[in-house]
Amino acid sequence: MNKFSRIKTDTIRSVDEITGSRRLRRMRKAPWSRRLVQENHLRVDDLIWPIFLVEGEDRKEPVEAMPGVFRYSVDLAVREAERAAKLGIPAIATFPNIGLGKRDATGSAILDPDNLINQASRSIKAAVPEIGIITDVALDPFTNHGHDGILRDGIIVNDETVAQVAEAAVLQAAAGADIIAPSEMMDGRIGAIRDALDANGFQDVAIMSYATKFASAFYGPYREAIGTGGLLKGDKKTYYVDPANTDEAVREAEQDLLEGADMLMVKPGLPYLDIIHRLKDEFSIPTFAYQVSGEYSMIKAAAANGWLDGEKAMLETLLAFKRAGCDGILTYFAPEVAQLLRD
Ligand code: PBG
């Protein structure tokens, strides 16, 4: 009993009695012992770098809401791909910002063999054959309404969209994409894309399904990056998964695997670690997270304000993905973290 209070302490057992002499701090006492028992590691091999493309030449435009992120014209994107390959980053994922005049109600420009995505794949494949190229077949960069599918009478029509994205996937494969990553969440898209790729001689092109893409607020800055922010009317709730649902996410993933997906992705990342963990547990399939634009911007904004250590927060979030069961992470931090891991 101390002199300030009448709280009884004399019956508290000794710590050794309480823990049975187990001391979990023992292994934490020094950097060398912490290194010995570290269970998960972040490696450059875990990184996929999403990059934004813009038309023209010698253009590098900052994305305002994503400090340190730019849109590159194809010539500069090739140089960025070279830089990424030198850093040891295994793959990049490209997202185009095309001229507004080329966007229409059906996103028809996705079927142009020479559209911005396909031009970039061709140039990058020719100059940097050692880096993997991942392309998305969603229609949102190509529609004048910012939706991922064909919009008719206020409805995103499923089957017509699927037919179009399957065709687009073949064009992307022909241009050099190694992995098709469909993000538009239409029913039946994985099977249709697999059929189309196989029928056109692209059996070796893999599919990374955005199996569980949630209807999330964290995509905001991306929409600035590809110029759909001002276009999008309404929301994407009729095709993306409700953030409240877990079982539905499992059903989505299971369906995509049945249809032929080689890899799964969960998006966004950090708010959905439970989904990553559950999918990896349930399916034992290569599983990826997309640490999306809003997640990147939050860390950058807080760091810019001096509210947290941006570098430490970045590394901690990426390690958290590994701990949850990810085989890799799509992250705008990729070059920054690859450089750090090298040094
Ligand atoms: C849409 C798409 C989105 C992202 C990539 N492709 C989401 C959306 O705009 O609805 C988001 C990526 C990010 O936020 O970093 N097919």
Predicted pLDDT at 203: 98
- Backbone φ and ψ for 122, nearest 5 degrees, come out as -60, -45
Pairwise CA distance, residues 269 & 253, whole Å: 15
Residue 207 lies in domain:
42-264
Residue 275 is assigned to a structural domain of this protein: no
Q: What are phi and psi of 246, to 5 degrees?
A: -105, -50
Above pLDDT 70, what percent of the chain?
99
233 is catalytic: no
Q: What is the per-residue pLDDT across 85-141, written as a single tens digit (0 to 9) for each?
A: 999 999 999 999 999 999 999 999 999 999 999 999 999 999 999 999 999 999 999
Q: Is residue 330 part of a domain?
A: no
Among the options 8, 102, 236, 267, which is catalytic? 267
- 291 CA: nearest ligand 1 atom: 15
User: Is 140:213 a contact under the CB 8 Å cutoff?
Assistant: no
State the pLDDT at residue 211.
Answer: 86
- How far is Cα 31 from Cα 50, in angstroms, rounded to an integer? 34
Residue 5 lies in a domain: no
The total number of structural domains that make up the chain: 1
Which of 292, 330, 333, when mutated, tests ligand 1's pocket best, judged by the most ligand atoms within 8 Å of its CB? 292
What sign for the dihedral angle of Cα 97, 206, 204, 79?
Answer: positive
Residue 103 lies in a domain: yes
- pLDDT exceeds 70 at position 2: no
99 three-class SS: coil
Structure-token pair, residue 152: 């008719």
Say if 239 falls within a structural domain. Answer: yes
Pocket of ligand 1 (CB under 6 A): 136, 138, 140, 148, 183-184, 219, 222-223, 236, 292-293
Enter the pTM of the model. 0.96
What pLDDT does 1 receive? 54
DSSP category for residue 200: T
Task: State which ligand 1 atom lies nearest to the alpha carbon of 226.
Answer: 9
Let me know if residue 35 belongs to a domain.
no
Per residue in 210-234, pLDDT tens?
989 999 999 999 999 999 988 998 9
Residues 105, 150: contact at Cβ < 8 Å? yes
Angle between helices 74-87 and 334-342 (to 10 degrees): 30
Summarised one tens digit per residue, pLDDT across range 249-289 is 999 999 999 999 999 999 999 999 999 999 999 999 999 99
Which sign does the torsion angle of CA 226, 229, 232, 234 carry? positive
Domain annotation covers residue 286: no
Residue where the block lists tokens 């599919």: 207
Q: Give the Cα-Cα-Cα angle 58, 294, 118 (nearest 5 degrees).
A: 40
222 Cα: distance to centroid of ligand 1 (angstroms): 6
Per-residue confidence at 304, pLDDT binned at 50, 70, 90?
very high
Q: What is the CA 9 to chain-centroid distance, rounded?
A: 52
Q: What is the DSSP string of 5-66?
A: -----TTPPPHHHHHTT--TTGGGSSHHHHHHH------GGGEEEEEEEESSSS-EEE-TTS
Residue 13 covered by a domain: no
Mean of all residue pLDDT scores within the chain: 97
Residue having the nearest C-alpha atom to atom 6 of ligand 1: 183
What pLDDT is recorded for position 229? Answer: 86
pLDDT tens digits for range 10-51: 999 999 999 999 999 999 999 999 999 999 999 999 999 999
Active-site residue, 267 included: yes
Q: Assign residue 127 the CATH number of its domain.
A: 3.20.20.70
